[in-house]
Amino acid sequence: MYIQSDDYNVIADTILRQEIRPHDLMVLLVAESDALDAEALIERLNKAEVPFIGGVFPGVIHNSKLYKQGVVAKKLQAIAPPVIMSGLNTPGYNWPDLKTVLSGPAKPVTAWIMIDGLMSNIAHFLSGLYDRLGDQVNFIGGGAGSLSLKQQPCLLTPDGLFQDAAVIAFLDYDTHLGVKHGWKRLAGPIVATRTSQNVIYELNWEEAFSVYKNYIEKDCGCSITKDNFFEVAKGYPFGIYKSNAEEVVRDPIAVNNEGGLVCVGEVPENTVLNIMKGTADNLITSAAEAVEETLSRSQTTQAMVRHTMVVDCVSRALFLEDRHEEELEQINKRIKAVRSEVSPQGMLSLGEISSYGEGYLEFFNKTIVIGSLY
């Protein structure tokens, strides 16, 4: 359900009117707002003993609309209490024993993941998560955080607000995933010859910003500087080369004082990159393709879609501008054609998480991930 309010009492009262059964978990997708007292909301939900997790995002999605205010509250069935991991900015953080979560009867499980989208070692965390769970579960989720790109507490848990953290809900559903981005190669290949976590310092052994600037200015006919970098670069992401698959997109969002390109998500040293370019038509078409992928199971079997989760990169929305609603309309129309009572719901994310081809766990940028839960 969508709750169109920033008042924590209104949000809590609406949630408390729902029947909460054993194994229910409230997943809260909260639109970023200075007006919402998140700590007071947590206190009220804890007092009522409502099991929940949540994240703060630049916007939330309900049906074919994007909202910059309010909360999408999803009541989902969980097989275990959610896992909360904090301190992920430190190298020696501890892992809980995740295998105990899956110790029951063998059945499909979906891991819904919300992370601090602006922490620097996301890929390291996701790699560790996959090492522990492998392909026993399907993964879907995204990065929480502010559109200002200033890191701050963005994950809501019964233990409080967190940054440099992740929350994982193990849900009692099978999931069929659609993952698409629609960006096309403009230039490359280029090698990221010096990097550190999410910063590219050198491309082809030269200062990264100078190399990137040269390619972009030739194409756009404009000047790109540190001051206007985000506005121009939103149309020119990097693509990490993958054989026999779409590139995994990395979004450069800023230039640091050393001429390094700060990205959302790590770029390993010696990664082969392409510079990508998109059009609104290609991005909207890719969203429609992602829907078709996620619905293919219901079209070939008797499986019935119970929920559809949409994780849509905030920079896609910024790039599409007024046409972003067309993307959401494509998704909503196709979902409701299969199951009219299912409302696509989700968020604008700072990075998208998905099993890639329902296999290896990846962190994407400028991508749309759609998961139909069966």
Average pLDDT in the 51-66 region?
97
Q: Centre a 10 Å sphere on the Cβ of residue 37 and count the other Cβ atoms it contains.
A: 16
Contact partners, residue 291, CB within 8 Å, separation at least 6: 178, 330, 331, 334, 335, 370
Task: Name the DSSP class of 63.
Answer: T
Tens digits of residue pLDDT in 135-156: 888 999 999 999 998 999 999 9
Tens digits of residue pLDDT in 311-338: 999 999 999 999 999 999 999 999 988 8
93 pLDDT higher than 70: yes
- Residue 90 token pair: 């430190």
Buried b (16+ CB within 10 A) or exposed e, 304-340: ebebbbbbbbbbbbbbbeeebebbbebbbebbbebbe
> How does the average pLDDT of the chain come out, rounded?
91
Tens digits of residue pLDDT in 193-206: 999 988 999 999 99
**pTM score over 0.85:** yes
- Residue 292 token pair: 């078709």
pLDDT band at 304 (very low <50, low <70, confident <90, very high): confident
- Tell me phi and psi for residue 70, to 5 degrees: 95, -170
How far, in Å, CA of 274 to CA of 123, rounded?
A: 19
How far, in Å, CA of 349 to CA of 366, rounded?
A: 9
Give how far Cα 229 sits from Cα of 148, 223, 252, 318, 373, Å.
14, 9, 9, 14, 38
Q: What is the pLDDT of residue 301?
A: 58
Q: What is the pLDDT of residue 358?
A: 47
Q: What is the pLDDT of residue 361?
A: 87
Q: What is the pLDDT of residue 300?
A: 60
Which segment of 12-16, 19-23, 152-156, 299-303 scores lowest on mean pLDDT?
299-303
Q: Please report where in the chains the tokens 């989208």 appear, as a residue.
A: 117
359 pLDDT higher than 60: no
Q: What is the pLDDT of residue 149?
A: 87
How far, in Å, CA of 139 to CA of 141, rounded?
A: 7
340 pLDDT higher than 80: yes
Q: Which carries the bigger pLDDT value, residue 10 or residue 92?
A: 10
Q: Backbone dihedral region of 367: left (phi > 0), alpha (psi from -120 to 50 degrees) or beta?
A: beta
67 pLDDT higher than 50: yes
Q: What is the pLDDT of residue 293?
A: 87
- Residue 235 token pair: 């149309």
How far, in Å, CA of 116 to CA of 151, rounded?
A: 8
- Residue 350 token pair: 């700072």
Contact partners, residue 206, CB within 8 Å, separation at least 6: none
357 pLDDT higher than 60: no
Check if the beta carbon of residue 144 is closer than 8 Å to that of residue 154: yes
Q: What is the pLDDT of residue 302?
A: 57
C-alpha closest to that of 227 among 239, 209, 211, 214: 209
C-alpha closest to that of 256 among 235, 229, 222, 220: 229
Average pLDDT in the 209-221 region?
94
- Tell me phi and psi for residue 111, to 5 degrees: -100, 115
Task: Name the DSSP class of 136.
Answer: G
Check if the beta carbon of residue 185 is closer than 8 Å to that of residue 276: yes
Tens digits of residue pLDDT in 222-260: 999 999 999 899 899 999 987 767 789 999 999 999 999
- Residue 246 token pair: 């779409």
Cα-Cα-Cα-Cα dihedral sign, residues 49, 53, 58, 59: negative
Return the C-alpha torsion angle 171, 176, 182, 186, nearest 10.
80
- Tell me phi and psi for residue 309, to 5 degrees: -105, 135
Q: What is the pLDDT of residue 243?
A: 72
Angle between helix 8-16 and 38-47 (nearest 10): 30
pLDDT band at 104 (very low <50, low <70, confident <90, very high): low
Counting residues of the chain whose pLDDT is more than 90, the rounded percentage is 73
303 pLDDT higher than 90: no
353: amino acid identity, one letter:
I
Q: What is the pLDDT of residue 297?
A: 63
C-alpha closest to that of 9 among 32, 47, 37, 50: 37
CA of residue 58 relative to chain centroid, distance = 11
267 pLDDT higher than 70: yes
How far, in Å, CA of 334 to CA of 209, rounded?
A: 41
CA of residue 285 relative to chain centroid, distance = 19
Which segment of 64-78, 225-239, 267-281, 355-369 scores lowest on mean pLDDT?
355-369
Provide the residue count of the chain: 374
Q: What is the pLDDT of residue 105?
A: 62
